[in-house]
Amino acid sequence: MSSSPPAFVIETFPVGPLQCNCTILGDPATGEAIVVDPGDEVEKVLSALARHNLRCRAVVNTHTHIDHVGANHALRERTGARVMLHEQDVVLYDNLAVQAEMLGLFPPPPRSAVDEHIHQGDRVKAGAIDLEVLHTPGHTPGSLCFHLPGAQPLLVSGDTLFAGSIGRTDLWGGDFDQEIASIRTRLLALDDHTRVIPGHGPETTIGRERRRNPFLVNL
């Protein structure tokens, strides 16, 4: 019983004024990495990649709120990574200037090209990392969570699920009932020991949220 799980690099750090959690998933054997939600601090992301000797192959977004996508363009330019997100969040992505104005941020970050639309059940790969795409509409129509199965399963949950709470649904395209349905069908289906890295704040597990999150206890 010494089948140790592959030692992937998993590093999360907050970026930008709204402290969005950026997560780097890297395979040290091949030097390939996926960056989830690079926020707006490209230098911080690049130095974390360099520290682990990783090349960014894909930039994936849990959704296209401005605090999660600000460095997409710069990271794509500097690394050649492909930008991937759900097509139902493209409208939001096309309106970064409006989002910036609502938050009093100026100037808005440039919008990168979108290299690939990703959907429920798709996989995003980098080296031996095989990330499963879960479509979890509710916070935004194109909200995604990313699931890394295995002995130590991981979920990057964006603004769909937080430690002790869930994402707000009062912004453009938000839908509370849809969000609850997404969490019930896609996230609560995961193992209790799945480690959860949310889009903001501290990490948690599926089991802890199933038992203690006030929005989920009666599902």
Nearest approach in angstroms of CB 166 to Zn ion is: 11
The nearer residue to Zn ion, 65 or 86, going by C-beta atoms, is: 65
| Residues 192-211 interacting with Zn ion (rule: CB under 5 A) | 199
Nearest approach in angstroms of CB 200 to Zn ion is: 6
Count of positions on this chain that bind Zn ion (CB under 5 A): 4
Exposure string over 167-196, b if 16+ CB within 10 A, otherwise e: bebeeebbeeebbbebbeebbeebeeebeb
In this structure, which amino acid lies at residue 13? F
Classified as helix, coil or strand, 39 is coil
- Euclidean distance between CA atoms 82 and 67, whole angstroms: 19
Nearest approach in angstroms of CB 92 to Zn ion is: 9
Q: Which helix (H) or strand (E) holds 124?
A: strand 123-126
Binding part of the chain for Zn ion, among 30-38, 59-67, 87-95, 122-130 by CB under 5 A, reads 59-67
The nearer residue to Zn ion, 153 or 158, going by C-beta atoms, is: 158
Q: How is residue 116 written in tokens?
A: 């690939």
The nearer residue to Zn ion, 20 or 24, going by C-beta atoms, is: 20
Among residues 40, 45, 54, 65, which is the contact residue for Zn ion, using CB under 5 A? Answer: 65
Q: How is residue 165 written in tokens?
A: 């709470």
Q: How is residue 167 written in tokens?
A: 């994402």
Among residues 159, 179, 203, 209, which is the contact residue for Zn ion, using CB under 5 A? Answer: 159
Which residues would be at the binding site for Zn ion (CB under 5 A)?
65, 67, 159, 199
